[in-house]
Amino acid sequence: VLFVLGGPGAGKGTQSELLQEHYPILHLSAGELLRQEVKKVDSPHAALIESCLVAGQIVPVEISLQLLQNAMRQAKGSQLLFLVDGFPRNEDNLSGWCRLMKNVAMLWSVLVYQCPLDVLEARILERAKISGRSDDNLESVQKRFRTFEKDTVPVIDNLRQVSSQNKMPQWSVEDIRGDQDLEAVWQESQKILNEL
């Protein structure tokens, strides 16, 4: 498994799609799985997920992991490498992954798309014109960015620290400048993946 992390609008989804097109990888977007679940009329979690997304909050780990596990199972072993975009978002997500997924999937690397808030805001507001996403507005992106800084950055730091101390040498944490133009970010993403 490759985790792909970064602030809202950092390019995680775009780069994940490109990586899936060029490498034997299945892209699983935690956010997209959650948005799909909201649309299911028979989902017992739809209302909770929707309220978390609109408020810029993190969905409970049990729900996120259940959706990720289901998506991995549906792949039926056709993919050996899963690219999980937008997960783990907090320490609870990470500990849940370690607890519930340790015998299901091994973490191989973490790609972190770094991007300043002003660039993220501009991208989200531009994307909002066509996305139809309930969380693509200025207020939600600012909340999502604060949540990212408060909850996800410590997870990235934790993963980086563990990796650098060689406690779990099977993974690396790779930083990618997400504030560059699309082609430059893609070149950097490819270079890192080719070196892994």
pLDDT (tens digit per residue) in 89-99: 999 999 999 88
Beta strands in the chain (DSSP E): 2-6, 25-29, 81-85, 109-114, 172-177
- What average pLDDT does the structure give for the chain? 89
Model confidence, pTM: 0.86
Tell me how far apart the alpha carbons of residues 143 and 148 are, in angstroms, rounded to a whole number.
Answer: 8
Q: How far apart are CA 15 and CA 113, in angstroms?
A: 9
Residue 133 to residue 158: CA distance in whole angstroms: 31
Q: How confident is the model over 72-119, as pLDDT tens digits?
A: 888 866 667 899 999 999 999 999 998 888 888 888 899 999 999 899
At residue 76, the pLDDT reads 66
Q: Using CA atoms, how far apart are residues 75 and 69, in angstroms rounded to an integer?
A: 10
Whether the per-residue pLDDT at 167 is higher than 80: the answer is no
Structure-token match 């017992």, residue found: 44
Q: What type of residue sits at position 140?
A: S
- What's the confidence (pLDDT) of residue 78? 60
- Per-residue pLDDT of 20-73, as tens digits, reads 999 999 999 998 999 999 999 999 999 999 999 888 788 999 999 999 999 988
Residue 166: pLDDT over 90: no
Closest CA to 61 of 35, 95, 28: 95
Superfamily of domain 2-191: P-loop containing nucleotide triphosphate hydrolases (3.40.50.300)
In angstroms, the Cα distances linking 179 to 86, 113, 176 are 17, 8, 9
Domain spans, the chain: 2-191
Peptide bond preceding 88: is omega within 30 degrees of 0, i.e. cis?
Answer: yes
